[in-house]
Structure 1
Amino acid sequence: MPLTDFSFAQPWWLLTLLALIPIALLRNRSGSRGNITFSSLSLLASLGTTQRDLAGRFSLAFLSLCVIFSAISLARPQKQNSHTERKASGIDIILAMDVSFSMEIADFQYEGRWVQRDKISREVVKEFIKQRPNDRIGLIPFAGQPYQESPITLEHDWLLGKIDSVTPNRDLSQGTAIGSAISASAIRLDKRKDSKSRIIILLTDGSNNSGKLSPIQAAEAAKTLGIKVYTVAIGTEGGRLAGQQNPAQEFDTETLEEIARITDAEYYRAKSANDLVAAFQTIDQLEKTERTQKVVTTYEDFHHIFTALATLSLLGHILILILHRPAGPE
């Protein structure tokens, strides 16, 4: 626990520590001596004086501690606790990420090596999430059908962990159900009636070949709900699927462009890692949020501890005075 978190609410009470000066001046005259000294009992008198001097030193020590603890208690030592309250921006986002087998193609260069499309997608998406701490964001991966991996949430640390688990999985229904993914995402967003803006970011490397709902129908439904659908096609020209002669066959560019047009959004073609980063940066700028944060500070008092110590010190001082009273004539 850093000492910088501690402070005094009324530090001027520490000036009472000046009372230690006269107490220190008395330390050489500590202890009570007899009122009458008998010359014939000088040896016994000196022994009694030593005992009383020792008691006096303890008495002054307790008195000094009482003054110190009292001063600290009156100054009110406090520990400062601060935390930041985040308020949702009102922009809700669903990330619809393609996890079909084709996303395992390693045709992107990232940090000096070839990596799979799904890996570079996850890295770029995570950076996008980190840049938008006040947005509620959800995740829906899809292949032959969509799967809800994360509800719309402000708990981004938890969401980032979910992003890492979004990988092509042979246990999933295979294919590319773009229409179904848009529909599932729109349904999740429509439940957020308090949102001032709702968007879907669709990331895919293929054309629609699964699902009962066509991408255009899904886009028109999203438009009706006031939801924008940004489409991002990922894949290099040299990374086409086996058996395809024309790299462009990987994407249904016309459909992805139409989805974005219908919903008043944008279409992006990412042929490299830089293209993908630029696409998400552009979306970030187009859907900019006002970041509002409120810092709440509370204080925890510790004066009661020093009040108790001061009381114990005073009791110790009084007890010594009672047990070692000045000697007098009988």
Structure 2
Amino acid sequence: MSAWYHIADPITRSWGVDYPWVLALALLALLPFLANVFNRQGIPTTGLIPPDPISRALGIALKLAGALAILALVVGLAGLHRREQTVIREGTGAHLVLLLDRSSSMDNNFADRAPSGDEQSKSSAAKHLLGEFVKGRPHDRIGVAAFSTSPMPVLPLTDHHQVVQAAIDAIDRPGLAFTNVGRGLALALSAFADDTAEASRAILLVSDGAALIDRRVQDALRDAVARTPVHLYWLFLRSRGAKSIFEVPPPGEDTPQANPERHLHLFLQSLGVPYRAFEATSPQAVGQAIAEINRQETRPLTYVERIPRRDLARAAFSVAAASIFLILLAKCAERPLRRHHRPATAPANRTAVINNLRDDRRAA
């Protein structure tokens, strides 16, 4: 699933500083071109010096490093940052609520007994496969709700999937006693109450059973679905030997008390919204059902995301430190020019000089 985005704010407005007056100090960046930190040494003439482009380029590079160090320090002190931005993302996906059964029966395996050895419980199998399901839908907004004796709001609709993964990782904790799926569905529908985006909405119910839904709860669910149409999916984790929700019992035995799962299936069919149920009796079947749901919920999706402010002062100080380090290395490598002097003559013998003077006078 690919997605593209654009920034609603112009690029020129995406950068800012906390202390604009500090930017006046940027004029100090001219100092490396007006002064020199290295020792100046005079020479008689430059005409006899051969061209040395490497030294010239090195000198210019050191001046630029000095100017860059000053500029980086100035913008760092000014509090350079990237402002909060509004991003419009487009891709394929949906707004999806995962409604998870947290009753104690989910702690059993598909043979409806405590798992042993390498066996997985129903909740562990659902945890692994739902985690992969979320990873494969990076552009969805996903919420999480749970239910057992009472409904439990876990996470509102969000596009921060790390939080969603954390919520899914908690579904294999020990469950509670009962399965109040009616109030769980009401909670999942309420997650879309403030959702005004034009996106596909879906509820994925993951449960291994059902209980009777009170008539008043049924009426409330019908009203909620009429106000907020959604796609419904039920991943029924059926224990081996349990009755199928698609199997029609003999006459007289098809009652809500005897077959609550089948009658939940019939009730969801009667809501007048797109609905599909999947039966799974093994972790492999759960994976196949989730893959099918993944294929069906791939419609165009547009949503707005706010990217928070990002401070860049630390990055500016790092650039300044690197530039100063280069100049310091060059300073440490500096060596003075050697002065070449004629060798000093040996001092004349004073006695010989005096004797020569005397001889000259006598001759005169």
Structures share fold, TM-score greater than 0.5: yes
Contact 1:202 1:230 in 2 (8 A): yes
2:93 is the counterpart of 1:95: no
Match runs of 1:242-281 below 5 Å: 249=258, 251-260=260-269, 262=271, 263-281=273-291
Contact 1:260 1:267 in 2 (8 A): no
Change over 3 Å in CA distance of 1:285–1:114 after alignment to 2? same
| Aligned position for 1:53 | none
1:320 aligned counterpart, secondary structure:
coil
Q: Which runs of 5+ in 2 are unaligned?
A: 1-40, 45-53, 68-86, 244-252, 303-311, 344-364
Q: 1:271 is matched by which residue type in structure 2?
A: T
Q: Which runs of 5+ in 1 are unaligned?
A: 1-30, 35-60, 75-84, 241-245, 293-298
Match runs of 1:1-330 below 5 Å: 66=59, 87=89, 89=91, 91-107=94-110, 113-167=118-172, 169=174, 172=176, 174-209=177-212, 213-215=216-218, 217-238=220-241, 249=258, 251-260=260-269, 262=271, 263-289=273-299, 302=319, 305-306=322-323, 309=326, 313=330, 320-321=336-337, 327=341
User: What TM-score do the two structures reach when normalised by structure 1?
Assistant: 0.59
2:278 aligned counterpart, secondary structure:
strand
**2: CA distance, partners of 1:190 / 1:224:** 9
Change over 3 Å in CA distance of 1:107–1:33 after alignment to 2? closer
Contact 2:94 2:298 in 1 (8 A): no
Runs of 4+ in structure 1 deviating by more than 4 angstroms, as ranges, are 31-34, 61-74, 210-213, 248-251, 289-292, 299-308, 314-317, 324-329
Change over 3 Å in CA distance of 1:130–1:213 after alignment to 2? farther
Contact 2:103 2:179 in 1 (8 A): yes
Change over 3 Å in CA distance of 1:273–1:305 after alignment to 2? closer
Name the stretch that deviates more: 278-287 or 306-315. 306-315
User: What TM-score do the two structures reach when normalised by structure 2?
Assistant: 0.54
1:256 aligned counterpart, secondary structure:
helix
- In the TM superposition, residue 249 of structure 1 has moved relative to its aligned partner by 5.0
- In the TM superposition, residue 223 of structure 1 has moved relative to its aligned partner by 3.8
1:175 aligned counterpart, secondary structure:
coil
- In the TM superposition, residue 214 of structure 1 has moved relative to its aligned partner by 3.2
Identity of aligned residues (%): 19
Q: 1:87 is matched by which residue type in structure 2?
A: R
**1: CA distance, partners of 2:290 / 2:221:** 22
2:178 aligned counterpart, secondary structure:
coil
Q: 1:279 is matched by which residue type in structure 2?
A: A
Change over 3 Å in CA distance of 1:257–1:303 after alignment to 2? same
Change over 3 Å in CA distance of 1:234–1:213 after alignment to 2? farther
Q: 1:253 is matched by which residue type in structure 2?
A: R
**2: CA distance, partners of 1:88 / 1:215:** 36
Contact 2:208 2:239 in 1 (8 A): no
Name the stretch that deviates more: 266-275 or 302-311. 302-311
Change over 3 Å in CA distance of 1:307–1:168 after alignment to 2? closer
Q: Matched residue pairs, number?
A: 250
